[in-house]
């Protein structure tokens, strides 16, 4: 049974939380004192929602002294203004989040739902909780096991690769390969060799044989990102290989066979590319047996909070240290447009965590450029220094969001490529390495 432990001595607050969580289908065990809670915690609830100050003591003191296994349950603390420090201490010891009263019940419910779905259901939501993304996700799960070709469309950073991986997981054996190829990042001269592989001595510099992407994807998924960037010659060769399900390594005459599913992705308008003759129609129909469009984040604001919470959990796991965000911080995220979509959100969160104290995110961390607004003696820094720092931070953020592409970053920033170059040179900012292909 999905039980939530609610520890709250205020009868009105307790009653409304009880009703709200029951509405979500949870069974709620409501305790009014710490003493009652100490007994109820042994019933292994899915999550705990607890006030800090209770008639018989501080819930945060109780929490920090619990064994790690119990602290690993998702705990949410509700605090009045006076007990924020206690809540922060609890978060540092592993609690999921604290919300300052008066808080938004919907926000608490959304966070609890995210935290508990990961523990109870095998089929977690992966793409988003908005209606649009739920439809996307159910479509992906439906086509998963069918091994038909799939074309994912949507702006840069919306999560097309995440979608491709979901399809891969829902269709293939657990250990089947997922080979991701960024078609825009491979020089045209190397393309054939990278896709089809080559034999030793096939060309000058081929010191040993090499398995191409098609071969490596055998039994699994070949993910062709930025597929619109495939040059015409490669489009023709790829089409042939897909149709015949076979190909030759460069320098070899023996036919290679490889059985894989193709998932292609593009942020460009392929219809237009076809009309202009830049993309082959026959290849399009080969790739787009099913077409799924991922809408931009600004069209589904209800996913922002959900995504941010997923990402903060991932970041905390990667860093091996707890991360928690205040409600004000979450609201500041929801107020932004995220033209770089999930990728921009992720970059923003990583930066906020890096600049935060002990992984606790508050509104100021959402504007990290202000972090250096005082010198060591506490004096205000000159305006030009603060502005320069803000500019540098923001340019770095755009470059991360654009995956290192200067053209895209300039577009996001609303300045010309040349201006961006100049600013990067002046601020000694280097573009991060573009992600090439990760097998
Ligand atoms: N549903 C999600 N949950 C968690 N993280 C996500 C989700 N969707 C996207 N992200 C994160 O956002 C970033 C961009 O996602 P992804 O690479 O899938 O976008 P994309 O649409 O393939 O971008 P591009 O078109 O530029 O290749 C990644 O860091 C990814 O982990």
Are 261 and 354 in a shared domain? no
Residue bearing the bigger pLDDT, 175 or 433 = 175
Listed residues 310, 337, 362: the one ending a domain: 362
Closest atom of ligand 1 relative to the 345 alpha carbon: 12
Are 151 and 277 in a shared domain? yes
Q: Whose CA is nearest to atom 25 of ligand 1?
A: 156
- SS3 assignment, position 221: strand
Q: How many whole angstroms separate alpha carbon 36 and alpha carbon 25?
A: 23
Are 69 and 188 in a shared domain? no
Are 98 and 147 in a shared domain? no
Are 289 and 390 in a shared domain? no
- Give the Å distance between the CA of 308 and the centre of ligand 1: 12
Q: Can you give the pLDDT at residue 369?
A: 41
Are 354 and 432 in a shared domain? no
Are 273 and 337 in a shared domain? no
What CATH number does residue 326 fall under? 1.10.8.60
The pick from 133, 159, 316 for probing ligand 1's pocket by mutation, whose C-beta has the most ligand atoms within 8 angstroms, reads 159
Listed residues 362, 381, 403: the one ending a domain: 362
* Each residue's pLDDT tens digit, 238-264: 999 998 889 999 888 888 899 999 999
* Each residue's pLDDT tens digit, 370-414: 445 555 565 667 777 777 777 888 888 888 888 888 899 999 898
Confidence band of 155 (pLDDT split at 50, 70, 90): very high
What CATH number does residue 237 fall under? 3.40.50.300
* Residue 46 and residue 22 in contact, taking contact as beta carbons nearer than 8 Å: no
Does ligand 1 have an atom closer than 6 angstroms to the CB of 405? no
Does ligand 1 have an atom closer than 6 angstroms to the CB of 397? no
* Each residue's pLDDT tens digit, 24-34: 889 999 999 99
Does ligand 1 have an atom closer than 6 angstroms to the CB of 359? no
Are 397 and 372 in a shared domain? yes
Q: Can you give the pLDDT at residue 364?
A: 59
The upper half-sphere exposure of residue 97, i.e. CA atoms within 13 Å in the direction of its Cβ, equals 26
Q: What is the pTM of this model?
A: 0.66
Number of domains in the chain: 4
Buried b (16+ CB within 10 A) or exposed e, 358-397: ebbbbebbbebbeeeeeeeeeeeeeeeebeebbbbbebbb
Does ligand 1 have an atom closer than 6 angstroms to the CB of 346? yes
Confidence band of 342 (pLDDT split at 50, 70, 90): very high
Are 149 and 282 in a shared domain? yes
Confidence band of 172 (pLDDT split at 50, 70, 90): low
Q: Can you give the pLDDT at residue 376?
A: 55
Q: 């082959």: which residue's tokens?
A: 280
What CATH number does residue 86 fall under? 3.40.50.2300
Q: Can you give the pLDDT at residue 84?
A: 81
Domain that holds residue 259: 131-295
Does ligand 1 have an atom closer than 6 angstroms to the CB of 127? yes
Confidence band of 53 (pLDDT split at 50, 70, 90): very high
Q: Can you give the pLDDT at residue 121?
A: 38
Taken in order 18, 21, 24, 26, the sign of the CA dihedral is negative
Closest atom of ligand 1 relative to the 158 alpha carbon: 21
Does ligand 1 have an atom closer than 6 angstroms to the CB of 267? yes
* Each residue's pLDDT tens digit, 260-277: 999 999 999 888 889 998
Listed residues 124, 150, 172: the one ending a domain: 124
Are 147 and 289 in a shared domain? yes
Closest atom of ligand 1 relative to the 162 alpha carbon: 18
Report whether pLDDT(182) > 90. Answer: yes
Are 90 and 154 in a shared domain? no
- Give the Å distance between the CA of 32 and the centre of ligand 1: 43
Does ligand 1 have an atom closer than 6 angstroms to the CB of 303? no
How confident is the model over 208-228, as a mean pLDDT?
92
Q: Hey, what are 194's tokens?
A: 């990278």
Are 272 and 236 in a shared domain? yes
Q: Whose CA is nearest to atom 12 of ligand 1?
A: 343
């Amino acid at each position: 049974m999905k039980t939530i432990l609610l520890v709250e001595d205020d009868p009105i607050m307790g009653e409304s939380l009880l009703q709200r969580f029951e509405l979500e289908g949870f069974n709620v065990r409501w305790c009014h004192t710490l003493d009652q809670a100490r007994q109820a915690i042994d019933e292994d609830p899915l999550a705990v929602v607890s006030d800090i100050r209770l008639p018989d003591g501080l819930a945060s003191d109780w929490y920090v002294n619990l064994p790690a296994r119990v602290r690993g349950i998702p705990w949410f603390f509700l605090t009045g203004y006076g007990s924020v420090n206690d809540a922060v201490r609890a978060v540092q010891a592993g609690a999921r989040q604290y919300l300052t009263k008066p808080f938004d019940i919907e926000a608490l419910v959304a966070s609890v739902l995210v935290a508990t779905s990961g523990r109870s259901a095998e089929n977690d939501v992966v793409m988003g909780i908005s209606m649009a993304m739920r439809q996307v996700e159910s479509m992906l799960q439906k086509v998963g096991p069918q091994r038909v070709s799939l074309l994912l469309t949507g702006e840069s950073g919306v999560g097309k690769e995440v979608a491709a991986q979901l399809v891969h997981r829902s269709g293939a054996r657990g250990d089947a390969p997922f080979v991701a190829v960024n078609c825009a990042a491979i020089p045209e001269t190397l393309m054939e060799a990278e896709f089809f592989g080559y034999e030793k001595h096939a060309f000058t510099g081929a010191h040993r044989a090499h398995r191409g992407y098609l071969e490596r994807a055998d039994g699994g998924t070949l993910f062709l990102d930025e597929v619109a960037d495939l040059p015409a010659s490669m489009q023709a060769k790829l089409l042939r290989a897909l149709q015949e399900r076979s190909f030759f390594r460069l320098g070899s005459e023996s036919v290679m066979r490889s059985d894989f599913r193709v998932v292609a992705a593009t942020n460009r308008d392929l219809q237009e590319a076809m009309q202009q003759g830049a993309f082959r129609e026959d290849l399009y129909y080969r790739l787009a047996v099913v077409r799924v469009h991922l809408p931009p984040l600004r069209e589904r604001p209800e996913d922002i909070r959900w995504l941010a919470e997923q990402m903060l959990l991932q970041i905390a796991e990667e860093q091996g240290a707890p991360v928690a965000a205040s409600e004000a911080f979450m609201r500041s995220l929801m107020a932004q447009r995220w033209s770089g979509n999930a990728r921009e959100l992720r970059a923003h969160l990583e930066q906020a965590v890096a600049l935060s104290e002990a992984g606790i995110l508050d509104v100021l961390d959402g504007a990290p450029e202000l972090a250096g607004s005082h010198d060591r003696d506490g004096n205000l820094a000159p305006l030009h220094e603060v502005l320069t720092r803000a500019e540098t931070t923001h340019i770095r953020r755009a470059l991360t969001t654009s995956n290192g592409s200067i053209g895209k970053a300039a577009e996001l920033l609303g300045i010309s490529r040349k201006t961006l170059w100049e600013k990067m040179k002046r601020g000694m900012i280097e573009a991060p390495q573009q992600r090439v292909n990760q097998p």
